[in-house]
Structure 1
Amino acid sequence: MKTSYVSNLAIQSAMRLTIQQNQSDLLKATQEQTTGRHYDVGLALGATASRSLNLQREMDRLNSMKTTNAVVTQRLSGSQGALETMAKAAEKVRDTLVTYKGNDAATQLKIQKTEIMGALQTFTAAANTSFNGEFLFSGINTDAKPIADYSTTPPSAAKTAFDSALSTFMAAQIPALTGMDQFSVAQMQDFIKNTVEPMFTGTGWDANWSDASSQNMTSRISASEVIESSTNANAKGFRMFALASVISAELMDRNVTPEVRAAIGVEALQYAEQGIAGLNAERSSLGISESRVKKANTSIEAQLKLVNTHVADLEGIDPIETSTRINTLKVQLETSYTLTSRLQQMSLLNFL
């Protein structure tokens, strides 16, 4: 009869390896149960892992577009708020002109000028609204302040240009006008229509008022849609409001005849109405863009849900099977710990 030598050290080493393997398997299974996907997707899927990677890239692209759309939505919302403020300022000018129509008292004319200049300052502040360090109404020149302040010390370029144009027009008349009270209705209408208006509708606007680009910001909101996500201070509504404010503030309180003052009021009121209509048109345009972004986000959410479903089908694990495997591994570990403890207690001294 032959006996074989068995070392309890060898048995303990084998048990330690078993414990380490079970611990590793338990860690992986626990992570799978937590994440709901295979611990090693490439190993589990094999050749189909490329499909999973493609779906992950598509998911990243959709999430990136969703994040971009959130910024676009905030930009549009900020623009709408500023345009609403500007429209109210334009309505203030219109209402002031209507309220003080036919009033030639110096004190009333002073109040009228103060209210109109206040509305112009409110308008300018709203037009220079910025978001995330970028001006909303500068077009693609987002780092440039779109509208210059009119009332400044020293006088602004726009104020200087207006005063120069008025002096030049008066000197060019035959005979030359030496005072505002010498203006006729026809001359004042000529001055406003053919001298002042072109300063706001032509190159004078860019030279004296605006540093904005006429090209609006665009944003891609889906794979196939690009929208204008802003407007700019060169739009007609901005120009007409500024024109209405300047001619009413600069001319209405001058020493002109009541007939000339009435003619100025008529022209200013028309420009104010055009400004209000133009600003509301910009608000409508941005409203359409907001609606398109909302629809695009709905589509993106649907696509993300579909992609997530496909990814889950590929990478997902069976939670019941995983839970059973975890329980089995725990039992095996407890058994291994018990056996290891008993092996460590074995000694010949116990049998002597």
Structure 2
Amino acid sequence: MRISTQAASQSALMDLMRAQRELYESSQQISTGMKAPDLKGYGNQAETILFARGALARSDNFVDASKRLASRLDVQDLALNEMSDAVQDLRLALTTNDGTFLMNDVQSAFSRFTAAINTQFNGSFIFGGTRTDALPFTADTIGQVQGAADIADLFQNSAKAQTGRIEENTTVETGFLASDLATELMEIFARIADFNDGPDGPFDGTVTEAQQNFLSTEIGNVIAAFENISVALGKNGSMQARLENAQRSNAQRSDYLTGMIAGLEEADMAEAATRLAQAQAAVQVSALVFSDMSQVSLLPFLR
């Protein structure tokens, strides 16, 4: 009879090594919460994980960009509402039978409107178009508007409005140009100042028939300017609503991708704990068997 312990000893050693490897992997899963330390450990699921990570990164980038855009649209909405109120102030100033304080009220409406048109967000002028580092409108008084050779010279905005990502893959114009919003109104301010300085002025005390006729005409022009601002307000509100919808959809997409990646990468802690306990027991048994096999001797059989 041939007696050999080499094969049995080798088998016991292999069992011990497998148990130790299982113990190590289970311990790593418990400590890291991940199924594997790197993508190589995920086998054919690695490509899916990489794709999901990329999609999640793009989604997160859109979230960051959309938050900044939402804040800018909020500030833009406030500025447009301020302009709308300033135009309303001007209309009310012109609907008077007493011109004593009319020009003061007109100047007040002008100051309120120009402060809004030069609104800044994070240090950038929001109505300057792509030129965000310069005052979109440079006149401080109606007299400066009145004295300008061309009202267009008072505007420093670019010809192109600002853009933003309303949806993840959709970039559209989200801003307005100061010149588009204010030129018509500045012409009204200039005409009022010219009339006040002309032969039928100044406005002081009860308005005359000529003054009343002039004011009635300009009220109609102010209403047209008001409608222009109202259109901008409506467009801004529409963009805000569209952005909010996109943000909700993107949040759902991010949640789905996060859950998908977690399902692929994260270990089942209960299962890992069970495997750890089993591996610890297997290591103990394998080590005992290997120890016994290492001490086997032929001497008892040779006696």
**TM-score, normalisation: structure 1:** 0.66
Distance 1:81 1:31 in 2: 51
Match of 2:232 in 1: 282
CA contact (8 A) 1:134 1:143 kept: yes
2-structure distance, mates of 1:160, 1:291: 42
- Of 138, 141, 152, the residue aligned with 1:206 is 152
Residues 31, 279 of structure 1: alpha-carbon distance in 2 compared, 3 angstrom cutoff: farther
The superposition leaves residues 19-76 of structure 1 with CA deviations (integer Å, 9 ceiling, x where unpaired) of x99997686334333xxx3341413212321221121011000100111011111111
For residue 28 of structure 1, what is the aligned residue in structure 2?
28
1:90-124 deviations in Å (ceiling 9; x for gaps): 000001111x24x3xxxx43x11111101111111
For residues 151 and 270 of structure 1, what CA distance do their matches in structure 2 show? 23
Aligned residue number for residue 163 of structure 2: 218
- CA contact 2:36–2:265 (8 Å) conserved in 1: no
Aligned positions, number: 259
Picking from 131, 140, 143, the partner of 2:133 is 143
Counterpart-to-counterpart distance in 2, 1:214 and 1:274: 23
Identical-residue share of aligned pairs (%) = 20
Where do 1:65-144 residues align within 5 Å? 65-98=62-95, 100-101=96-97, 103=98, 108-109=99-100, 111-144=101-134
Deviation, structure 1 residue 289? 0.9
Counterpart residue number, 1:58: 55
CA contact (8 A) 1:241 1:274 kept: no
Is the 8 Å Cα contact of residues 151 and 187 (structure 2) preserved in structure 1? no
Does the 8 Å CA contact 2:157/2:179 hold for their aligned counterparts? yes
**TM-score, scaled relative to structure 2:** 0.75
1:219 match: secondary structure: strand
Q: Which runs of 5+ in 2 are unaligned?
A: 1-19, 202-207, 285-303
Q: How has the CA–CA distance of structure 1 residues 29 and 117 changed in structure 2, closer, same or farther, with 3 Å as cutoff?
A: same
- Aligned: 1:234 with 2:179: yes
- SS of residue matched to 1:87: helix
Range moving further from structure 2, 62-71 or 225-234:
225-234
RMSD: 2.9
**Contact 1:113 1:253 (C-alpha < 8 Å) held by counterparts:** no
After superposing the two structures, state which structure 1 stretch, 70-79 or 241-250, moved more.
241-250
1:243 corresponds to? 187
- The code of the aligned residue for 2:125 comes to F
